[in-house]
Structure 1
Amino acid sequence: MHLTASWIRALALLALAAITGALLILAACYLYLAPQLPAAVAIREVEYQIPLRIYTADGKLIAEYGEKRREPITYDEIPPLFVKAVLAAEDERFFEHPGVDPKGLLRAALELVRYQEIRSGGSTITMQVARNFFLDREQRFLRKFNEIVLAIQIERILSKEEILELYLNKIYLGHRAYGAEAAAQVYYGKPIGELTLPQLAMIAGLPKAPSAYNPITNPERARLRRNWILFRMEETGAISQEQMETARQAPVTARYHAASPEVEGAYMGEIARIAAQDLVDKDVYTEGVRIYTTLDSERQNAAVTALRQGLHDYDERHGYRGPLAHIGTDDLPDPGWPRPQDTEAAPDQDQPEPELAKATEPDDSDELDDDRAAWVERFSDQPAYGPLHTAVVTALRERQAAVLLADGNQAVLEWDDLKWARPALNKGYMGEAPNRAGDVLKVGDVIYVRPVGDNQDARWRLAQLPRAQSAIVSLDPDTGAVQALQGGYSFYASKFNRATQARRQVGSAFKPFVYTAALENGFTPATIINDAPVVFDSSELDEAWRPTGASERFYGPTRLREALYRSLNLVSIRILRQVGIGQTMNTLNHFGLPTERFQRDLSLALGSASLTPLELAGAYAIFANGGYRVTPYFLERIEDKNGKVLWKAPRVEKCEAPCAVVDDGDAVAESTPDLDEDGKPIQPPPVKAPRVEDENIIWLMNSILHDVVERGTGRDARRLGRGDLHGKTGTTNDQVDAWFSGFSPALVATVWVGFDSPATLGWGEYGGRAALPIWIDYMGKALDGVEERYPPQPPGIVSVRIDPESGLQARPDNPNAIFEYFREDNVPELESPHSNDGRTPEQIF
């Protein structure tokens, strides 16, 4: 007995000595390592890498750029159930230990002795925070000691809640997601506060090994990890056994959710991204920079919808080019004809579609069954753009087609959405109209379908990716702020921004500038010019030039007003010839047009000049705002992640010439120059918008451009039911380019339609047919709720009765007299009963 007691005392002393020695070693390590480690206090100044985000002027997300997706949240925003899930998985005693858990370290040490390899590191959440912020991930004993030292220091500086907040915002959780909130968005497309218990447990299982337990790439392994965490939560009392059992039965519903824009504006996003790199002295991709563009979200969505609808309408007029591919179906199960409860209505058209649809994304609410999955796998490699969805034809009836969409839902295409598909032949010809669904489709055809109709009657329609392209740009004429911009059908199908980069001949949309030059040089809306054939023969030409009009009809002597709303080419040539190229170029310079690029010949009257849609819209803004030149710009302000303004666009002020003007060669305004003593940005000096055209001439031109809409080539716009619309169609030779540029006093919009490699759009595809419908659809929505505005008649304008045949002031007894507007110093002479109508030989011939 005495011997036993001696052994016990010896062992106790030995244990005490061992513990003391270990403590001394740890203390020595601490004293040795602590001075060499980074100061833990630096964790209070931690900066997360946050991606660049671009917004509309009203705060809707357009795009996100950056290697890491991260959305930092505060501890109070973290669901308590998620905190319990993380602690159950990673550090059950987190709120009890001082940053280091001896039990965990002992367990890790025993595993190392037993298995001769590191099975678990014994790291607490605080130790992981130390490693993530200050150390590398190499598995070494020295790094572990460093973790311990830093963890102890961190626990002295931060509260447990602050440590957990740092941890849940910093950790990598797969698929570019850093932090819990980003992971919730990536895997479930929702804020973390809206996730269910099994979804929270799934994310809580990711920190251990984001690749191995990833619910997208390893769904079965992820499910097992999730269920173990649910078991641990029940074991620790975080949830009941009933909650655990229910959650363990839940299917794995995670799928990849790309950063979801609220507004389609990828073309503008690219403009803003490039501009920001020059405007702010920051790493824009990692420091949480926020750019607010000038876009109006509702107008931008309206522009995208109108452009795509217009291109689909054009595309359907020129026939069906066939399926994307054809898959063999002999070895596939028969999915049957869709039952009503199996079909899915077309998506809500009021919401923007994602630019690049994921062909293999199943519906969250219903796992894809094996039969449908076998079909989907055969065509999952086909890309989908904008509102286009890939689908495969699974069955046909006389005038119906059953299709399976890439998301596993079934739908039926009705005859009204199939019968347009006459086969497209060579050189723009089309084959016979189909009589049944089998004339258009075959089982196994991989096709595009798109949603059409309103919310209550939404349906699917056979579609194809349009070959023609379009661009639309819309401005606030008073400031130049771009309200809407779309540079093509889809940014992800083609990144070429046709709104800002495509220089195309503008055709008759250029004529208003030539007519403005005429009014500046003595012409009036009543001046008579002859619309008759003319031949130009010169040694500089390979052959004689015989310009004609689109209809090849000649109207003879015609008033200037009528010539513009009828878009008479020969009248425009005669006007340019009389005014002169030099005088006309002066006027074009007033409108800010790039005259250095223009040919100095009579073809200019027909729109041989090449402009981008943005350049043309900027010039038309001068008509809309009463004669002031504004510079189109895209950005309102740039902020850092804390909301501090780094750059701000100056306000625009109209001024009567001459006035000091900043250089307007760039498409963005000047940046904020200085900060005040409180660090707030000083409002930059205003950008001057000088008067470049006489208000009387602008008012007369607007009166004529209003007639283009009321009775001319743009008269289809009357269906908008507004009296304050003005504009001009444009079409180039062989219908290669189609345009409509128009405005109300509140908004300017320009639309172009054509092929990227210039080719004819086809017979009859003039500006009034190909481009004007897009403009009408856009302006109808963009001006909804905007009151009509009618600028007052300037005091220098008078209304006079004229004879419509001669253009002279009518005698009181003239029964055919009409009213016309003139500058008061340019009223025509009174017609004489003995005159031959007052027209000069030059005007007649």
Structure 2
Amino acid sequence: KKKKKAQKKRKGGLFKWLFMGTFSIFMVILLIGFTGTLVIYYIFADDLPDVRVLKSFEPSTVTLMYSDQDKLIAELYLEKRILVPLKKIPVQLKQAALAVEDANFYSHMGIDLRAIFRAFLTNIKAGRIVEGGSTITQQLSKTLFLSRERSIIRKIKEAILSVRLELVFTKDEILEMYLNQIYYGHGSYGVEAAARTYFGKNVQKLTLDEVALIAGLPKSPNNYSPYRNPKRARSRRNHVIRRMAQEGFIKRDEAQQAMRKEFELGEVTNMLNRAPYFVEYIRQQLMAMYGRNKVYKSGLKVYTTLNLEKQIIAQNVTKKNLHIADKRYGYRGPLGTMDISLPETVLQENLREINNLKDGALPTAGTIIHGLVKSVERKLVTVLIGQGEGVIELKDMNWAREPDVKIDGRWASINRIDKTLHPGDEIMVRVLGVHESGSFWSLSLEQEPEVEAALISIEPDTGHIKAMIGGYDFSKSQFNRAVQAVRQPGSAFKPIVYGAAISKGFSPASIIIDSPIIFKEKDHSFDQWKPVNFEQKFYGPTPLREA
């Protein structure tokens, strides 16, 4: 019995020493870790910004420019961002962001150790970095305060800032800042700008498959862009939907239905195409009045006098007549040449890319696109246009003579095509419609005008500018001939002179004397001025209507 008691005593002592030893080692490690954390914190904390500045932080937002009927005609911005409060962001979009970026967002203090450990194991198994452990708070800290460099030091700073953010702001405030601040691709910052960019609608109107696509973009906006990489975008969207189902945000049948949906993307439009010269005219005035920062960062709303319908009519009429006027001077030749011996599939693919005819899109009547001459006959030419073939008949290019300023192009024409166009010529064509045969397109030959024009439409009783055209193509020449050319008004000034005469009691039958007159002005840059007519003649007594 004494022997057994001694053995028990020794065992109890052994366990006690093992426990105490293990506990001591644990405490030492904990103390070292705690001390190390404090040391690291004090080394890096002093150089970090105060996160409380975000309480008064105003992110860069979009200045919107509207027509006289409150239609959007332009957006001015450094970062395309439209702020939206968290309560107006759809619940499913918030859930999608949490599911794919930070499922434990509402339970951690800025750093998710479980997510970091899980990502570490996943990356070890994959042999490469396939998953990150950054929380939404860390991503926000990095975006607002830190550079893009990849280093341990930056990760430490990111962690410190994240904890500070969690101490100063509520979870909902952090999520709202994140959803309004993060980059979503194609120049869009925040979910509202992303919704308008990708789907042409407000964020409140997004469907489940659409919120999933948007929520998946921040990881790599370029790689997952549905415009650039539809397959990758679909895969990423479906991953987000699966994560939402795994987290219990949506039912499995909802997920399956959403993953089967095709993209219904909005068209990427350049707002400046609506009224480029007018927008630039207004932008310059805004810059002079408020300065660059105010215009590009403060989200101004600018209401103008422009009438969008009249502007579109003015643009179409001006371009149409510039093409007509330019053709009077003859055909200046092809844009270039292509090797017509290449496989037709290759040539058509090149043309589809040039003409932006994606996913089987067909050209629309009235549009001007690039074409490649395939074969030429005396009165007919066959042209590849990316989607099938088209034909140009002699009547639709009979203006294409050799340039000669001595010839009046209104009456000159060619009588055969094969001396003007050749196989392999890259040309510009206008799509007239489907040919009467129904098997190919009917086209006309075009060229980009070298002649320029300007137009400005002003409402007489208010002086409001309703339409402004400063040239043929703003992307090639930003010189606004409507307001910058300082041209002599010529006969356009006559209504002002007649108006002044009528207000003085003159009538169209009033007789005036057309005779030489000399103005002497010593206070100006000239001593005297003697105006003359173009004909260099004077006609004596003349009725006002003929003067």
CA distance in 2, matches of 1:146, 1:154: 12
Instruction: Check 1:446–1:77 CA distance in 2 against 1; reply closer, same or farther (3 A cut).
Output: farther
Alignment partner of 1:285: what SS?
A: helix
Query: Does the alignment pair 1:468 with 2:446?
Result: no
Instruction: Check 1:86–1:34 CA distance in 2 against 1; reply closer, same or farther (3 A cut).
Output: same
Asked if the contact 1:449–1:460 (Cα under 8 Å) also holds between the matched residues in 2, the reply is yes
Sequence identity percentage? 33
In the TM superposition, 1:5-404 aligns within 5 A as: 7=18, 10-11=21-22, 14-15=25-26, 18-19=29-30, 22=33, 26=37, 37-107=48-118, 122-186=133-197, 191=202, 200-211=211-222, 213=224, 225-238=236-249, 257=268, 259-261=270-272, 264-281=274-291, 283=293, 284-333=295-344, 359=354, 361-363=356-358, 366=359, 388-393=368-373
Alignment partner of 2:183: what SS?
A: coil
Question: How does the TM-score come out when normalised to structure 2?
Answer: 0.74
Superposition RMSD in Å: 5.0
Query: Does the alignment pair 1:575 with 2:511?
Result: no
2:396 to 411, 418, 431: 418
Write out per-residue CA displacement over residues 41-72 of structure 1, whole angstroms, 9 at most, x where no aligned residue. 32222221234443333333333344432233
Partner of 2:436: none
Aligned residues: 514
Partner of 1:427: 405
Where structure 1 has 5 or more consecutive residues not aligned to the other structure, the ranges are 338-356, 377-385, 529-559, 561-573, 586-594, 609-805, 809-819, 822-845
Asked if the contact 1:511–1:607 (Cα under 8 Å) also holds between the matched residues in 2, the reply is no
Alignment partner of 1:269: what SS?
A: helix
Partner of 1:449: 429
Q: Considering fraction of residues, name the structure with more helix.
A: 2
Partner of 1:494: 477
Write out per-residue CA displacement over residues 251-274 of structure 1, whole angstroms, 9 at most, x where no aligned residue. 88989935435x721111222222
CA distance in 1, matches of 2:197, 2:357: 15
Write out per-residue CA displacement over residues 27-48 of structure 1, whole angstroms, 9 at most, x where no aligned residue. 7766887676433332222221
* Deviation of the 1:471 alpha carbon: 0.9
Where structure 2 has 5 or more consecutive residues not aligned to the other structure, the ranges are 1-10, 434-440
* Deviation of the 1:279 alpha carbon: 0.8
Residue 497 of structure 1 aligns to which amino acid in structure 2?
Answer: N
CA distance in 2, matches of 1:182, 1:171: 11
Asked if the contact 1:188–1:257 (Cα under 8 Å) also holds between the matched residues in 2, the reply is no
Instruction: Check 1:401–1:7 CA distance in 2 against 1; reply closer, same or farther (3 A cut).
Output: farther
Asked if the contact 1:264–1:304 (Cα under 8 Å) also holds between the matched residues in 2, the reply is no
* Deviation of the 1:15 alpha carbon: 3.9
Alignment partner of 1:474: what SS?
A: strand
CA distance in 2, matches of 1:440, 1:200: 54
Asked if the contact 2:519–2:528 (Cα under 8 Å) also holds between the matched residues in 1, the reply is no
Instruction: Check 1:27–1:466 CA distance in 2 against 1; reply closer, same or farther (3 A cut).
Output: same
Asked if the contact 1:105–1:121 (Cα under 8 Å) also holds between the matched residues in 2, the reply is yes
Instruction: Check 1:434–1:41 CA distance in 2 against 1; reply closer, same or farther (3 A cut).
Output: same
CA distance in 2, matches of 1:607, 1:240: 86
Asked if the contact 2:355–2:370 (Cα under 8 Å) also holds between the matched residues in 1, the reply is no
CA distance in 1, matches of 2:231, 2:323: 43
CA distance in 2, matches of 1:388, 1:598: 54
* Deviation of the 1:515 alpha carbon: 5.9
Asked if the contact 1:510–1:607 (Cα under 8 Å) also holds between the matched residues in 2, the reply is no
* Deviation of the 1:185 alpha carbon: 4.5
1:602 to 522, 531, 539: 531
Instruction: Check 1:434–1:216 CA distance in 2 against 1; reply closer, same or farther (3 A cut).
Output: same
Instruction: Check 1:212–1:275 CA distance in 2 against 1; reply closer, same or farther (3 A cut).
Output: same
CA distance in 2, matches of 1:581, 1:231: 88
Asked if the contact 1:64–1:259 (Cα under 8 Å) also holds between the matched residues in 2, the reply is no
* Deviation of the 1:91 alpha carbon: 1.0
Write out per-residue CA displacement over residues 774-801 of structure 1, whole angstroms, 9 at most, x where no aligned residue. xxxxxxxxxxxxxxxxxxxxxxxxxxxx
Residue 264 of structure 1 aligns to which amino acid in structure 2?
Answer: R
Deviates more, 1:142-151 or 1:264-273: 142-151
In the TM superposition, 1:739-818 aligns within 5 A as: none
CA distance in 1, matches of 2:402, 2:464: 41
Write out per-residue CA displacement over residues 55-110 of structure 1, whole angstroms, 9 at most, x where no aligned residue. 33333333334443223333344344433333233212223333332212444677
Instruction: Check 1:504–1:107 CA distance in 2 against 1; reply closer, same or farther (3 A cut).
Output: same
Residue 74 of structure 1 aligns to which amino acid in structure 2?
Answer: P
Residue 427 of structure 2 aligns to which amino acid in structure 1?
Answer: I
Alignment partner of 2:370: what SS?
A: strand
Deviates more, 1:97-106 or 1:298-307: 97-106
Asked if the contact 1:53–1:291 (Cα under 8 Å) also holds between the matched residues in 2, the reply is yes
Write out per-residue CA displacement over residues 304-338 of structure 1, whole angstroms, 9 at most, x where no aligned residue. 2221222233234554444323322222236999x
Alignment partner of 1:272: what SS?
A: helix
* Deviation of the 1:499 alpha carbon: 0.8
Partner of 1:543: none
Q: Taking CA–CA contacts closer than 8 Å with sequence separation of 6 or more, which of the two structures ends up with the larger relative contact order?
A: 2
Residue 601 of structure 1 aligns to which amino acid in structure 2?
Answer: K
Alignment partner of 2:322: what SS?
A: helix
Instruction: Check 1:279–1:293 CA distance in 2 against 1; reply closer, same or farther (3 A cut).
Output: same
* Deviation of the 1:249 alpha carbon: 7.1
